[in-house]
Chains A and B, each alone.
Chain A
Amino acid sequence: MRRTTAGGRVARSRLARLRPALGVLPFGVYLLIFLVVPTVTVVVGAFGEEGRPSLTNLAGLAEPSVLTALLNSVLVSATTAVIGAVVGALAAYAVVTGRPDGALRRLVTSVCGVLAQFGGVTLAFAFIATLGISGVVSTWLDAHLGTGLTSSIWLFGLKGLVLVYAYFQIPLMVIVFLPALDGIRVQWREAASSLGASTWQYWRHVALPLLTPAFLGSLLLLFANSFAAYATAAALVSQGSPILPLWIRNALTSEVVLGRQNFAYALALEMIVIVALVMAGYSLLVRRTARWVR
């Protein structure tokens, strides 16, 4: 009986130690079901074919059309990340220079909060309805300026993707970059001025070095965001699977070329590896920012 009591006490103290962990339990379960299990499934699937270990699917990644898709994916993601980061950072700066509780700031942050999450079929449709073949804007421009937009197909290719992705990338940048700009304290500028620094010197030696890690971190976040975007592209581009997410769809649902489910796993693994690399870079940079802003 005494042993049981002692055991009970030990169990209770263990429970006490575990109590903080209980709060994150739902998150842990969530991660397990929606991140760990799918990732393991993808890795196992990529290295197998019909239940046997095989490297055929990974070898398929070296096919020219798949390599082109990888290159396109990286190019589109990098381009939209740079456009989003630069334009978004400038917009965020413009907002920060205004009054912190002003109407402009409240308007911009709430609009950006909505637009950053506005993607998928609805966004693609919005662009098709305005700039597509029979879009409102393209029809008007053709009639008044003779632009030839109504017979141009640029929207349905990579150029179109860059434009449409920028639509949600810029607001996302504003949201993630505002806190970094807020972290720049007025006192630093005053200190620099009192030591005789010009505006240029202040930016060059104080503000920019402080903002660089946050900027690069946001850039990487934007990259991963557009790298993984699928529905927008799927609704816009229906020929040739120019980017990796569309290749995965093709491998899974094709009724013409059959039996490539495991190749889809290999493609997904390729995307996971690239996003993991980007994320590793991101967390390195975040650690550096944290050191500065403390």
Chain B
Amino acid sequence: MRRTTIVDKTSTTKTGTKKISARISAMAVGAVGLVLVSTACAPPAPSTSSASGSAANGAATWSSAQAAGGMDALVAAAKQEGTLNVIALPPDWANYGQIISAFTAKYGVKIDSAQPDAASQDEINAANQQKGTDRAPDVFDLGQSVALANLDKFAPYQVSTWSTIPDDLKDANGTWVNDYGGYMSIGYNSAKVPAPTGVKDLLKPEYKGKVALNGDPTQAGAAFNGVVMTSLANGGSADDIQPGIDFFASLKKAGNFLPTDPTSATIESGQTPLVIDWDYLNAGESAKISTWKVVVPSDAVVGGYYYQAISKEAPHPAAARLWQEFLYSDEGQNLFLGGGARPARADAMAQAGTIDKAAYAKLPPVTGKPVILTADQTTRSAGVLSKEWARATS
């Protein structure tokens, strides 16, 4: 969801000096080639086998478990489909690794997890490119701006636990529902750097070449919110991201800003001893490294939730709906919590006593009222950022 991993080789521009001697033959070759390509490009005959099953029971239009004829009928339909396609769910992100295996163990529906490290926009790109095939993603887990820009691609669905999800964490129709969220935090290795007491501490010489941000903020939602956090700490607001950009420019000038993309590997090897990231991602590192501490700066509390939605074009519509039921069940929500993320139904579950109390107590303490950017504020800040960021950091 955050990292765009590049695995192709350096592209090398080859310069051929070979000349095709006769122009006529070259043209003939081109013409024949064109014919061949146009035949090759003809779309394959539409396969109806995968679509017919779902069309028959109308699963693509079910807007709740009742519409499916109850939970048992939904489970049966999902089992018949047999597979669920998910995309951009890193196993070490909000506990998705365990959530995926728990779902398969419980319902016997195989999960095909594509491009775990892809970004939110890649999820939508994949849905567009693979539309109509049985490899297209069934469900999305998206950052705010990508989710709100693609509402027409989602199928509305209300889970059984719908009434216990706070109103501001869901669309009234169930087009999208926030699944989990957290606060922007500073994670640091206490064996390598002193504990920061606030955002401004990061300018101190002790942090030279040590402050990393999870991604490029003009690309990754987590990094974007990291800049919002530093902005709040430096007199900015939800409407004004400039102080955050200026802060990173000063960090860069002081030689403190480390322009490398932190991953579990860089954190474990010590390359990135201090990382600005969502608290649940930093908390995931604490589970592996005992000296990895997480603070949510009290002067700059930025919150953010991810958006869960079902693809309108889902090749496995029943499995996609069952996945939602699982994610918003007590079990699914506690699994998110187990990964350090704050599940959407946390308050209701705490009241009902169904929350995993040990995991709930482990969340980093937060003081002050969290700032959550609206879609408009995000768009405007992103516009400023895309113009200023390159200059601030190079």
Chain A interface residues toward B at CB < 8 A = 17-18, 20-21, 24-25, 28-29, 31-33, 37, 63-65, 68-69, 72, 117, 119-121, 123, 128, 132-134, 150-153, 156-158, 168, 221, 224-225, 227-232, 234-235, 237-242, 249-250, 252-259, 275, 279, 282-283, 286
**Complex CA distance for A235 and B261, rounded to whole angstroms:** 9
Partner among A18, A132, A256, A258 whose Cβ is within 8 Å of the Cβ of B28 = A18
Contact residues in B for A234 (Cβ distance below 8 Å): 4, 6
A contact residues around B391 at 8 Å (CB): 64-65, 68
Asked if B119 is at the interface (CB within 8 A of a chain A CB), the reply is yes
Task: Please name all residues of chain A whose beta carbon is closer than 8 Å to the beta carbon of B145 when the two chains form the complex.
Answer: 255-256, 258
Interchain CB contact under 8 A, A230 and B390: no
Given contacts A256-B382, A279-B15, contact A242 B29 (CB under 8 A): no
B residues lining the A interface (CB < 8 Å): 4, 6-13, 15, 17, 20, 22, 25-26, 28-30, 32-34, 36-37, 119-122, 142-143, 145-146, 149, 208-210, 213, 215-221, 224, 255, 257-261, 269-272, 378, 382-383, 385-394
A32 CB contact (under 8 Å) in B33, B261, B272: B33
**Contact, CB under 8 Å: A21 / B25:** yes
Q: With A134-B270, A279-B15 as given contacts, are A256 and B224 in contact (CB-CB < 8 Å)?
A: yes
Cβ of A240 and Cβ of B393 under 8 Å apart? yes
Question: Could you say which residues of chain A place their CB within 8 Å of the CB of B4?
Answer: 234, 249, 253
Give the chain A neighbours of B34 by CB distance below 8 A: 32
Interface contact A240-B389, CB-CB below 8 Å: yes
Which residues of the other chain, A, contact B29 by a CB distance below 8 angstroms? Answer: 21, 24-25, 28
Minimum CB–CB distance from A141 to chain B (whole Å) comes to 15
The total number of A-B Cβ pairs within 8 Å is 194
- Which B-chain residue is minimally distant from A132 (CB atoms)? B271
Closest residue of chain B to A275 (Cβ to Cβ) is B13
Residues of A within 8 Å of B392, CB to CB, are 240
New A-B pairs, 9, CB < 8 Å, besides A151-B208, A279-B15: A20-B22, A21-B26, A29-B33, A133-B272, A240-B390, A240-B394, A254-B218, A255-B119, A283-B17
Main secondary structure of the interface of A (DSSP, over half): helix
Bound complex: CA A224 to CA B12 (Å): 8
A225 to B382, CA, bound (A): 33
Residues of A within 8 A of B28 (CB): 18, 21
User: In the complex, what's the smallest C-beta–C-beta distance from A231 to chain B, in angstroms?
Assistant: 5
Contact B385 A256 (CB under 8 A): yes
**Contact with B10, one of A21, A119, A286 (Cβ below 8 angstroms):** A119
- A134 touching B220, Cβ below 8 Å: no
Find the A residue at minimum CB distance from B258.
Answer: A153
Contact (Cβ within 8 A) B30 A28? yes
CA gap between A21 and B29 in the complex, in Å: 6
Chain B residues contacting A63 (CB-CB under 8 Å) are: 387
CB atoms of A120 and B213 under 8 A apart: no
CA distance A234 to B11 in the complex (A): 12
Known A128-B271, A257-B218: A238·B260 in contact at CB below 8 Å: yes
Neighbouring A residues of B385 by C-beta, 8 Å: 256-257
Q: Which residues of A contact B22 (CB under 8 A)?
A: 20-21
Among B12, B15, B217, contact of A256 (Cβ-Cβ < 8 Å): B217
Q: Evaluate contact between B13 and A225: CB separation under 8 angstroms.
A: yes
Residues of B within 8 A of A279 (CB): 15
A11 and B122 alpha carbons, distance in the complex (Å): 51
Contacts of A158 in B (CB 8 A): 394
With the chains together, A249 CA to B220 CA distance in Å?
A: 12
Q: Out of A120, A255, A283, which one reaches B120, CB within 8 Å?
A: A255
Instruction: Give A57 Cβ to nearest chain B Cβ, in Å.
Output: 14
Chain A residues near B8 (CB, 8 Å)?
120, 230-231
Measured in the bound complex, the distance between the Cα atoms of B378 and A168 in whole Å is 41
**B272's closest neighbor in chain A, by CB?**
A133
CB distance from A133 to the nearest CB of B (A): 5
C-alpha gap A158/B394 in the complex (Å): 9
| A132-B271, A153-B255, A283-B17 given; A258·B394 CB < 8 A | no
Residues of chain A contacted by B149 (CB below 8 angstroms)? 258-259
| Pairs across A and B, CB under 8 Å, 25 listed | A17-B25, A31-B33, A65-B388, A69-B390, A121-B6, A133-B260, A153-B209, A153-B260, A157-B259, A221-B15, A229-B10, A234-B6, A235-B6, A239-B213, A240-B259, A242-B390, A249-B6, A252-B121, A254-B119, A255-B146, A255-B220, A256-B143, A256-B221, A256-B386, A275-B13
Complex interface: chain A residues within 8 A of B218 (CB): 241, 250, 254, 256-257
Nearest residue in B to A223 (C-beta to C-beta)? Answer: B13
Give the chain A neighbours of B394 by CB distance below 8 A: 68, 72, 157-158, 240, 242
Q: A123-B10, A230-B6 are in contact. Are A255 and B121 (CB under 8 A)?
A: yes
The residue of chain A having its C-beta at the shortest distance from the C-beta of B378 within the complex is A256
Contact of B143 among A18, A21, A132, A255 (CB under 8 A): A255
Please state if A229 and B15 are interface contacts (CB–CB under 8 Å): no
Q: Which residues of A contact B383 (CB under 8 A)?
A: 257
Q: Of B13, B213, B382, which one neighbours A257 at CB under 8 angstroms? A: B382
